[in-house]
Amino acid sequence: MSDQKPNKKPEKKPDITFFHPDLLEAPADGRAPYLKGYRCKKCGQLDFPKLSPCPSCWGEEFDVVPLSRQGKLYSFSDNFIGQAGMKTPYSFGYIDLPENLRIFAQLEGEPGSFRCDDDVELTVGPVRDNRDGVPLISYKFRKLNSR
Amino acid sequence: MKLQRKVYIAGVGETKFGRHEVDFDVLGRAAALEALRASNIDRPTMVQSAYVGNGTNGMVTGQTVLKDLGMCGHLPIINVESACSAGGMAIHLAVRDVAMGLADVAIGIGCENHTLHMAQGTAFATAMSDIETVHGAVMTGKYAMRAQRYMYETGATAEDLAMITVKNRRHATNNPYAWFKGEISVEEVVRSRVVASPLTLQQCCGIADGAGAIVVCSERMVKKLGIDKPILVAGSVVRSGPYHNRPRDITGDDITEETAAQLYEESGIGPQDVNIVELHDAFTIAELLYYECLGLCPKGEGLKFLRDGNATHGGKCVVSPRGGMLSYGHPIGASGAAQIAASVKQMRNQCPGYQVDPVPRVAMTHVTGGGLSGTEHAACTMHMLVSDW
C-alpha cells in the first residue's frame, strides 16, 4: 500500500480563450482563413458570432456559412489610450460584410492609414496577450492588397 | 411605463465632482442628506424605499451608503447597476414606487468613486465576456468611431466638435459643483493629445468621483412636507438597447431615439417645449448626435443647431447648462442622478452665476449606459421635469 497521497491540486490549465473554433477557421493546409457565420435552419437568420439559440426564433440547429473575406471599413479609431494591459497605439473598426453583418475587429496597419469605406480583408494575428502572457491569435482586418 | 399617479421631486443633493479622497459611500451619504434636508425630512424613518445606483464599487453599495444615516432596517434598499445609466435608473425606480402607490416618500441616489480604484492612463472597457472587449474595445474608441463616421459623412471638422467642449466649459464657469470649467479655446481642445482618433483629451469626459440624490414623493406628501417649489416628474423612461449584429447608422442612436419618443408620448411634452437638457455628453460627438436623436433639431442639422447658438444661453434649448459631463467628469453611477439634481436647481432659480434666463419651466435629462456588442448602448434612462407652482 502506498503512503503517497494522490496529488489533488489540479494542473493549471493554459489560458486559450481565443482562436475560438466557433468564430474562425484557419485551415491547416494553408488555404485562406474565414469567419464562420451561422444560419438558423428554422428561420434563416444569419449571425456572427454564433448565437444559440437563434435570438429571432430560438431555433437550435444551424448551417455553418463561410463569410466573405472582404468587406468595407464602416468606421474606425486609432487608440492611444487603451484597455489596461494592452500596448498602444492599436486600431479597431467596424467592418461591414456583404452578408449584411457588421464585425468589430482590430485592424492591422499603421495608425493614420485608415479611411471610412476602405476595402479591407480578413487576416489572422495577435490581438492581445492572454493572462499567461502569451499572444492570443484571432481574426483581424487589413487594407485590401496591403501586402 | 406611464406614471399611474402624480410624482414630485421634493429635494435634491449633489457633491462637487472631481477627484475625491473619500469613497463612494461618503459621497452618496452627503448627497442623500442634502436631498433629505432640502425636502424638510428630519428623521430617517420617513423614507419608505431607497434605490442606489453604482457601477463599479462592489456589493451592497446602498446599505453601505445609508446605514450611517439610520436608514437600514425599516425600508427596502435596492442596489442598481447599469453602467453609466445606474444613477438615472435608481431615480426612475424611486419614481415608480411613488407612482404605483408603493411609497409616499422614496429616495434615489447615484454615487461612484473611480479614482481610488482605477489604474491611471487606462480607458473604460466592458466585461471580458464580451467579444468586442476581448478584441480591445474601449468606450473612448467606440465613441471615436461615431465621430469618425459623422465627420466622413457630413464634412464636420475637429474644430466643429471642439465647440461642444468650449460651450459646456463656459456654461460651467461659475458652477461650484463642476470640475473642469472656464475659458478654453477651440485650438486648445483640438491640440490636446489624441486619445482615440479623432477625439482628443479635451473632448472626453474626465474620470471623476461624485454623487447625486433625489427625494420623490406623492402629491399628498409634497404638501405635507411644505415644499414650496415642487417639480412634477412628467415622464420617466428606461429602455434596453436593441441587439443585432447587422450594419446600423452610428451617427444616430437607436436606443436614444426610441427612449425619447416614448418620453415625449408619455409626458405629452415635445422637444420644442423643452427649455434645458442635460444629456450624455461623455464625448463631444455624443452631444452633437443627440441634438438630432432627441429631436431638438432635424436629422443632419446638429452642427447648424450648435453653430447658430441654439444650444446655449439665448438659444432654443440650453444644452448642458451645468456644464455637462465634459465639465463635471463622469462617475458612471452618479451622473444620471446629478443631472436631475442640477436641472431641479435651474428650475428653482438656485444657480447664481450659471442660471438660465428666463428660469426654465421644462427640463429633460438623458443618460445611456454600457457598451455591449451588437447594441449602441445597453441602457438608456430619460426624465421629463416640469415646474408646478
Average pLDDT taken over every residue of chain A: 89
How much is the pTM? 0.94
pLDDT value, residue B141 = 96
CA distance B141 to B292: 22
B84 part of the active site = yes
Partners of B206 on chain A (C-beta within 8 Å) are: none
CA distance B328 to B325: 5
Q: Which of A89, A102, A96, A142 is nearest to B197 (CA)?
A: A89
- Please, are residues A120 and A141 in contact by the beta-carbon 8 Å criterion? yes
- How far, CA to CA in Å, does B274 sit from each of A46, B302, B361? 42, 16, 8
Check A127 against B121: CB less than 8 A apart.
Answer: no
pLDDT value, residue A1 = 45
For residue A107, what is the nearest residue in chain B, using CA coordinates?
B135
Is the per-residue pLDDT at A7 higher than 50?
yes
pLDDT value, residue A49 = 94
Q: For B44, which DSSP code?
A: G
pLDDT digits (tens, 9 = 90+) for B229-277: 999 999 999 999 999 999 999 999 999 999 999 999 999 999 999 999 9
CA distance B208 to B196: 19
CA distance B267 to B286: 24
Mutation pick from B124, B148, B285 vs chain A, by most beta carbons of A within 10 Å, is B148
CA distance B72 to B66: 6
Question: Strand B210-218 to strand B7-14: parallel, antiparallel, or no bridges (unpaired)?
Answer: antiparallel
Interface of A with B in 81-120 (CB under 8 A): 81-84, 86, 90, 92-94, 96, 100-106, 111-112, 115-117
Other Cβ atoms within 10 Å of A28 Cβ, number = 5
Give the position of cell 425606480: B93
- Which parts of chain B have pLDDT scores under 50? none
CA distance A46 to B102: 45
Check A78 against B121: CB less than 8 A apart.
Answer: no
CA distance B42 to B226: 13
Partners of B122 on chain A (C-beta within 8 Å) are: 81-84
DSSP three-state, residue B374 = coil
Residues contacting A118, CB < 8 A, separation 6+: A72, A73, A143, A144
